[in-house]
Amino acid sequence: MKTKESLVKELNLLTDKYSVQHFILKNHESKTAVEICDELKINLKKLVANRLALGGVVAENGFIQLDKVKAKKVIKNHLDTISKLQKKIKNSASVEQEKKIVKEKNTYTNHDGVYKQQARDKMVNAISQVDSPMGVIPTLPSYTGKLEMQILESVGRGFEFIGCERDFDTFHKLVNTIAENTKLRKFLKPRFCEIGEVIFNAKTDEFAHLILDYCGTINSFHKEIEYAIQNDLVKPNGTISITLSKNGIGNNAGIVGELLRQFPKGCFGDDKETEMGVKLFINKVMKPNYKVETFFNYYDSSPMMLIIIRRIS
């Protein structure tokens, strides 16, 4: 989004003149020319030199003898000029914004994927169980807020989402989506941050559920998942939903590699290694008061896994 200053420059306007005109236009009925000059710290000569001042202020206060009809015409002309100017600025701003959106490379684009919707349905279904708690849900809405809308529509009120997003352009679009949607505006508070910051700063029972729809690799997020479970951040009966990519985990890399190295090479079959690594990780961080409710393999541009864990007591 362009600033007023950059637009004024691009449209060859003088910032000073632009603000003076606006000020005069806004105040010409309530202030005298002298008051306007005082506030703008300009002399009357300059005010007279200003075309808008001729019609709007000076004529009104008798400094220049225009008859009323003429004065009104001048004021109308100036008003027309200003509104044309404003339209030009508005159009130029939205064209710029559209150009930017087309150019933008988003971190996530497969919002309409069929299997993605199946994964969403499972997360919503888990949250809508009768004894599932209400309250705060940290989540990763991307810029659409689709999953959060689905929860609000099928489960109803009683939730407040902390919508975390770490990519600036996506965050910017999310803010626009929220601004245009009354429900999201009320129940989804956007936050430009890593969701890990919210997790590591939380206390026991602080959240109703956690929706960690990362679609990323577990090696980047395993510490916050472990922290959430170890510290019982979701209330009893609350769920932790995690989506992970099966790509990008080499056998020797990170936490998954570490866990897989305890087993003979190839014992799970190549295509199952990542899945087994993730299961081993979940098994390692689980406590007796948790259960794995869902393990769903799906395809969302690339192979993914959805894991839903519930705190049972």
Q: Which residues bind ligand SAM (CB under 6 A)?
A: 107-108, 111, 120, 140-142, 144, 146-147, 164-167, 170, 194-196, 213-216
* Residue with Cβ nearer ligand SAM (31 or 111): 111
The whole-angstrom separation of Cα 148 and Cα 153 is: 9
Max Cα distance, the chain (Å): 99
Least separation, in Å, of the C-beta of 157 and ligand SAM?
20
Strands in 302-311's sheet, in edge-to-edge order, are 210-216, 239-245, 302-311, 290-300
User: What minimum distance in Å lies between the beta carbon of 161 and ligand SAM?
Assistant: 11
Of 211, 270, 226, 228, whose CA–CA distance to 246 is shortest? 270
CB atoms within 10 A of CB 267: 10
Q: Report, in Å, the least distance between residue 44 CB and ligand SAM.
A: 57
Comparison of 36 and 119: residue with beta carbon closer to ligand SAM? 119
At closest approach, how far in Å is the CB of 191 from ligand SAM? 9
- Comparison of 147 and 202: residue with beta carbon closer to ligand SAM: 147
Q: Which is nearer to ligand SAM, 58 or 215 (CB)?
A: 215
CB of 167 to ligand SAM, least distance (A): 4
Inter-CA distances, 215 with 109, 110, 199, Å: 11, 11, 18
- For residues 141 and 238, which CB has a smaller minimum distance to ligand SAM in the complex? 141
CB 289 within 8 A of CB 232: yes
Pairing, β 210-216 against β 188-192: unpaired
